[in-house]
Amino acid sequence: MTKTLIIPGRSGAVAGHWQHWWAMRDPAALLVAQEPWAATAPDAWEMQVAGAILAHPGSILVGHGYGAVVAARLLTHWPQLQVAGALLVAPAGPEASPLPEGRITVPALLVASRNDPHLPFAAAMRQARLWGAEPVDIGPAGHVDAEAGYGPWPEGIELRDGLLAGLAVNARGLRTRLVP
């Protein structure tokens, strides 16, 4: 069974957030704990995620917010890491650090909201193209977090499963759709 490494953003995976729900529900999921953003530098977050990848080769990365950016930075700078794929949900970069522009060489989906306050939809589509990730438009979903109503988010697990199966869309025709 492929391990899912869940990489939270700056706020962590607080109770009620889909990442917390996913980690509690899926025995193959591991929440990659991060030091609080204010207490550490981006490189320290990358080192923690890289350590989790080395401990679980062939895993799939599921990052949210800045966690998605950390995953993308690792995958664009270290393509030799043994990762099966990446589900990058609502990426949001820090003000002091630009989003990476290299190609991700593993299958990847970039899940974007039409009204994400941290990354405009057009910018998310540009990042998907730059990274070589398949864009997934989930409509107006805010930052795809608990505040936007994303506690349990089974569609996220379906996207991960579809990615693992080599599919880009989920089988049940949920409101998630690929962007043309």
49 against 168, higher pLDDT? 49
The per-residue pLDDT for 179 is 44
* Residue among 69, 103, 102, 90 nearest 135 (CA): 90
Confidence tier at 39 by pLDDT (50, 70, 90) = low
Q: What is the mean pLDDT of residues 100-126?
A: 95
Residue 43 is encoded by which pair of tokens?
């490189």
- Tens digit of pLDDT for each residue in 152-169? 899 999 999 999 888 434
Q: Whole-prediction pTM value?
A: 0.88
The CATH number that domain 4-178 falls under is 3.40.50.1820
Full strand arrangement of the beta sheet holding 177-178:
29-31, 4-7, 59-64, 83-89, 108-112, 134-137, 177-178
Confidence tier at 95 by pLDDT (50, 70, 90) = low
Domain residue spans in the chain? 4-178
- Tens digit of pLDDT for each residue in 52-63? 999 999 999 999
Whether the predicted pLDDT of 70 surpasses 70: yes
Coil, helix or strand at residue 111: strand
State CA 109 to chain mean position distance. Answer: 8
